[in-house]
Amino acid sequence: MNKNMIKNMNKNMKKNMKRNIFLSCLMACIIGLSSCEDILTVDSARYVTVDDNTLTSPNDSVASILGLLRNLQDVAERYVLFGEMRADLLDVTEYTSAAIRQLSDFTVDPTGEYADPRDYYTIINNCNYFISRTSGENHVLANENAVARSIRAWTYMQIAFNWGKAYYFTEPILSVKDEEKNFPAYTIPQLIDALITDLEPFAEADYPNFGTIYEFSSTNLFFPIKVLLGDLYLWRGGSVDDYEKAANYYVEYIDHGRSMTNVYTPVIQWTYDNFIQQNFETSYPQNNNWTGYTYANNSNYELITAVQMATEAENGKITQLWQKIEQYRISEVANTLWDDQIYVLRQPTSTGYTNYYTMGDCRKLGNNYTEGSYASRILNGVTVRFRMVRKMFNMEHFMLYRMVLIHLRYAEAVNRAGKPHTAFAVLKYGLNSLTLADNTRIPQEELADAKPYITIFNDAKYLQTNTIGVHARGCGDAEYNPFYYIGWNGWDTTLETLSDTIQWVEEAICTELALETSFEGNRYQDLMRMAMRRNDPSFLAKRVAAKHGTDEARIYNLLLDTKNWFLPEPAR
């Protein structure tokens, strides 16, 4: 679709979706938010009738789905701010606004913008409307119905993970009488069960293809149901069976969701010349095709799902995040994590190979602009220069899923399914037939049951070039790092039981998620999920508190109580 076609589509959407206008009105005119009734309160003066509106044609399909995708623009920026400012990798500056600082300090004002979930419930209500009119056996828009269910599920997950509960309703609120119903407040476990039940029948849905919408393929604007189901089972984690289901859903998407032909893993690397010159402090890695794959753009073959923001106000919402770049900085926790990694270069010689070592993960440099590259702002009448967080300065659109994130969550699931060496191989080696056949990498007893979610990597399409270990993206030839192995924490750690090994590998995965996917919006939820699984609030509390300096003790003690993990109930 070109721009003129989309503008015409927007006009048609406004016309064809007039029946939907009331849905946003109902949610937007909420006057108080301290209870279910308040959150779903409708101003009867804004009520619009919707008799005899059906959705039966392709035009209905495109207009409706584009409308739902437009709704996601209203919450996309918050995905990053909620997921990063409350975690350990992104920190405040002296120029941070009060509202963003409150996110970081866990002091969000119940009357403030970040306590208000109305935009999320608007998305859900619009999804409910579309789903209610496209459900039924053999409906012509059954695949579009699945798209709407996936958007609804992801939105519900964000409400629950940010507020600790979600008011659950699956029928559209069309009238004052509807909003007066008493909708149940689901806890995170209750919501996960409900969403699994809702999505699982649609796991094999064949999503529609609307072509190119501005810069993106429409398929990169949708949520793959198998990825969502993988996440839901990973969060539920009530048994080995849950983790195996998560691993199966992830690997089915990995195997069928992307062609592996001519695919090479993005890396950022030092060269041999850097080791000869020892100029690591003053140079920048010349081999860098990694940074570009951490942005949402149409040339990123790792991109799975993005929220495409508008570039012109008439076409939707334009992100303001990059304009707030002076309000956040990389935390010392993140810098220390990158600095503490060992980088390995395996260099061929006339007689074999020589390993060269230095300290530091190159992904730190990939997340920063080079020394001497500064942004300027006039703040309080003074020109201020500061280093920028590269990912956030280039965040024109918002990337919610990319392929490496699915590989890391797959590793998290496989580890908890009782196969920690297989999970660690995802980090150090990559899964392929060579890795699976090497008993020094994965003990064969861990593979004896021939689980399909592992044996699938014996397929010849998984090569050393396209399945290298995730750690190697920023740490060179990580498979040859003699200090990167299960049990090494700067010293040998005794791991007496399988449970000990699983815990150690999970911490390594947690670290790798930070090294690789920092500032993309996932971090706080990753920490929550692992802490909840362990029934150990200190797992989250100690990591988040570590960035707070003199306030570390207060934040640590505050977060030992899981009630304080979540945003406050909005005030009336």
User: Which residue segments constitute the domains of the chain, with CATH numbers given?
Assistant: 3-206 (1.25.40.390), 268-399 (no CATH), 401-565 (no CATH)
Q: Taking a C-beta distance cutoff of 8 angstroms, is the pair 223, 150 a contact?
A: yes
Question: What is the dihedral angle through the alpha carbons of 542, 547, 552, 554, rounded to the nearest 10 degrees?
Answer: -80
Residue (of 208, 211, 252, 212) closest to 228 by Cα position: 252
Tell me the pLDDT of the chain (572 aa) as tens digits. Answer: 444 433 443 444 444 444 444 444 444 433 233 455 555 543 333 333 444 456 766 677 888 899 999 999 999 999 999 999 999 999 999 889 999 999 999 999 999 999 999 999 999 999 999 999 999 888 889 999 999 999 999 999 999 999 999 999 999 998 766 666 789 999 999 999 999 999 999 999 999 999 998 889 999 999 999 999 999 999 999 999 999 999 999 999 999 856 665 567 899 999 999 999 999 988 889 899 999 999 998 888 899 999 999 988 888 899 988 888 889 899 999 999 999 999 999 999 999 999 999 999 999 999 886 555 566 777 778 887 777 788 888 889 999 999 999 999 999 999 999 999 999 999 999 999 999 999 999 999 999 999 999 999 999 999 888 899 999 999 999 999 999 999 998 788 889 999 999 999 999 999 999 999 999 999 999 999 999 999 999 999 999 999 999 999 999 999 999 999 999 999 86
**What distance in Å separates the CA atoms of residue 211 and residue 30, rounded to the nearest whole number?**
36
Q: If you write DSSP's letter for every residue of 321-356 in order, what string do you get?
A: GGGGGGGEEE-HHHHHHHHTSEEEEEEE-SSSEEEE
Q: Give the pLDDT confidence score for residue 23 in this predicted structure.
A: 44
Q: Coil, helix or strand for 465?
A: coil
Helices 142-163 and 225-236 meet at what angle, rounded to 10? 30
Residue (of 54, 195, 199, 70) closest to 134 by Cα position: 54
What pairs with residue 186 in β-bridges? 166
**What distance in Å separates the CA atoms of residue 152 and residue 404, rounded to the nearest whole number?**
24
The region that residue 537 occupies, defined by phi over 0 for left and psi between -120 and 50 for alpha, beta otherwise, is alpha
Q: Give the pLDDT confidence score for residue 20 in this predicted structure.
A: 44
Q: Taking a C-beta distance cutoff of 8 angstroms, is the pair 414, 425 a contact?
A: no
DSSP 205: -
- Stated pTM of the model: 0.91
Per-residue burial over 10-25, b = 16 or more CB atoms within 10 Å of its CB, e = otherwise: beebeebbebbebbbb
Q: H/E element holding 269?
A: strand 268-269
What are the respective helix, strand and coil percentages of the chain, to the nearest 5? Answer: 55, 10, 35
Residue 340, amino acid: D
Q: Taking a C-beta distance cutoff of 8 angstroms, is the pair 571, 33 a contact?
A: yes
Which CA distances in Å does 485 have to 188, 347, 440, 499? Answer: 35, 21, 11, 17
Q: Give the pLDDT confidence score for residue 57 in this predicted structure.
A: 67
**What distance in Å separates the CA atoms of residue 186 and residue 160, rounded to the nearest whole number?**
8
Residue (of 544, 322, 517, 530) closest to 401 by Cα position: 517
Retrieve residue 198's tokens.
């809702």
The region that residue 355 occupies, defined by phi over 0 for left and psi between -120 and 50 for alpha, beta otherwise, is beta
